[in-house]
Structure 1
Amino acid sequence: MTRVKVCGFTREADLEAAIAAGVDAVGLIAGVTVDTPREIDLEVASRLAATVPPLVSSVLVTMPGDAGEARRRIERVRPDAVQLHGLDPVDVAALADAPADVIAVVEPTDPELDAYAETADALLVDSIDAEGGGGTGETHDWERTREIVTGLDVPVVLAGGLTPENVSTAVETVDPFAVDVASGVEREGGVKDYDAVERFVERATRARVAP
């Protein structure tokens, strides 16, 4: 069954509602260099991460300048996993002993996909903007991402433009380890639509992969 990560929480009530809806992971965006209404500071991220119950993963979503800065943020927030935007495979490899699983964010056409797959615990395939950030709300070539899933042993998370309306098709096409959504389940920037979260989880987890 495909796992579900909902990203960009700014309020504890929204996080609790998503957990009640059955998400597998919650994303907390802190320390990024792009303008987003979903960013919180590291102290808030640490507080929210501490409220996540067992069997649900907290994920720090961040854009550090190097591996050392990433490690300091991990130690400060203490998430179960860290989702890294903008680091090269060398810096990702330097975090192999970090106290969190490492998810590297890549585009489906990234020439260093194999190198990231060798150094990260998982890949998140997203539509990345000119500043290196995800969360663009734009889909990408799902057939290409299906090739990545098939060709690599590392778990692949599908992101980019997913909504309750298209997530079933995305899962059926790509067969990802997990799907990731932020703006697709919001009433406004940084505020979740609880009904949309519930529909997204239900449709993602019930979708059947095409042969």
Structure 2
Amino acid sequence: MRVRTKICGITRVEDAVVAAQAGADAIGLVFYAKSPRAVSVAQAQKIVAALPPFVTVVGLFVNAARSEVNAVLDSVPLDVLQFHGDETPAECEAFSRPYFRALRMQPGLDIAALSAQYSGAQGVLLDAWVPGVHGGTGERFDWARIPENLAKPLILAGGLNADNVGQAVRQVQPWAVDVSGGVEVSPGIKDAEKIRKFLYAVHMNNTQLCDGSL
């Protein structure tokens, strides 16, 4: 199985282009005003317009009103929605888009049971839990805590970078990996070389998975 890649928190056209040219499967645009990686509709439109074909555009929301999400969808051609707040299954499924449900690895949380509630999700994204912070923490959680019986494909996030993503691919074997801070020089400003090194590390481990050497 090939592990897919998403570069999240894109705020600049040039970073989106670098990610696409380096082989990213998806980019993430953050529509959450409190995030240092938040983008406006105008920024998002320019970024999406610069992308080549076959790069999935994911829009990230945190407890947004339905009207707010719809306003973005009316202006930006998002392929997938990603919900990082307290959204219920019904709230996630209220839009004509596939969606991911992000779950933070809070101690004592039954991740398998919670993920099963989101039967309409394309996948479940697991991220580190930091009180009051909805993703993009740069913190890694203990991968041994990931349950084996997740109801949906796993997207692994939280503290990933070029130095540890190979280990993540080998140990967790997720459907996809999601990185933001691990390829930045500052919040929202990506580093082209870090992006390339991250995607190369995933590619090399994908090659080993496919040829059976892992």
CA displacement at 1:64 relative to structure 2: 3.8
Q: Which runs of 5+ in 2 are unaligned?
A: none
Tell me the equivalent position of 2:62.
63
Tell me the equivalent position of 1:40.
39
- Mark the CA change 1:120 to 1:132 in structure 2 (over 3 Å): closer, same or farther: farther
Tell me the equivalent position of 1:114.
116
Deviation readout 1:27-83 (Å, 9 max, x if unpaired): 1112x15342x1111221122123222111111112243445333322322211111
CA displacement at 1:3 relative to structure 2: 0.7
- Alignment of 1:105 with 2:107, yes or no, is no
Tell me the equivalent position of 2:176.
178
What's the TM-score once normalised by structure 2's chain length? 0.85
Q: For 1:114 and 1:199, how far apart are their aligned partners in 2?
A: 34
CA displacement at 1:206 relative to structure 2: 2.0
The CA RMSD over aligned residues, in Å, is 2.1
Tell me the equivalent position of 1:155.
153
Deviation readout 1:67-126 (Å, 9 max, x if unpaired): 45333322322211111111122211333xx1x32111112434522102x121211111
Residues 45, 60 of structure 1: 8 Å contact kept: no
Q: For 2:200 and 2:23, how far apart are their aligned partners in 1?
A: 9
Residues 103, 127 of structure 2: 8 Å contact kept: yes
Q: Secondary structure at the match of 1:45?
A: helix
Q: For 2:68 and 2:117, how far apart are their aligned partners in 1?
A: 21
Q: Secondary structure at the match of 2:177?
A: strand
Q: For 2:134 and 2:104, how far apart are their aligned partners in 1?
A: 11
Q: Which runs of 5+ in 1 are unaligned?
A: none
Identical amino acids, percent of aligned pairs: 32
Deviation readout 1:7-39 (Å, 9 max, x if unpaired): 111111111111111111011112x15342x11
Q: How many pairs were matched up?
A: 202
- Mark the CA change 1:115 to 1:162 in structure 2 (over 3 Å): closer, same or farther: same
Tell me the equivalent position of 2:79.
80
What's the TM-score once normalised by structure 1's chain length? 0.86
Q: For 1:206 and 1:195, how far apart are their aligned partners in 2?
A: 16
Equivalent AA in structure 1 for residue 172 of structure 2: V
